[in-house]
Amino acid sequence: MRFDEFEAEWRSVFGETSLAARYRYEQLAPAYRHGGVLASGSRFAHSEWNDIERFVHRDWEQRNPGTWDQAREAIRYGWHSVRARLSASVGDSAA
């Protein structure tokens, strides 16, 4: 999956969040991408966000200590946006 296809959407959504008052998009772009990577991989293909958030939190904090509160919503949005696109693709191919 090409995550650059999501860049404009993620940037736009970021601009509408309270995070935009404190951070630049470039600071949170890795978090959006991380969510997208998780959503597009096979490990969590049949999981829901609430089922994996604890794992994602732990994994993110190991790689980026002390930044979960800053990155959480971006990771979650990246996850959901990619999952929605993948679900739509599956639905289109099933028709």
pLDDT for 53 beyond 50: yes
Number of domains in the chain: 1
Q: Domain residues for 49?
A: 3-94
Q: How many CB atoms lie within 10 A of CB 13?
A: 19
The SS3 assignment for 87 reads: helix
* Structure-token pair, residue 58: 């732990």
pTM of this structure: 0.88
pLDDT for 48 beyond 50: yes
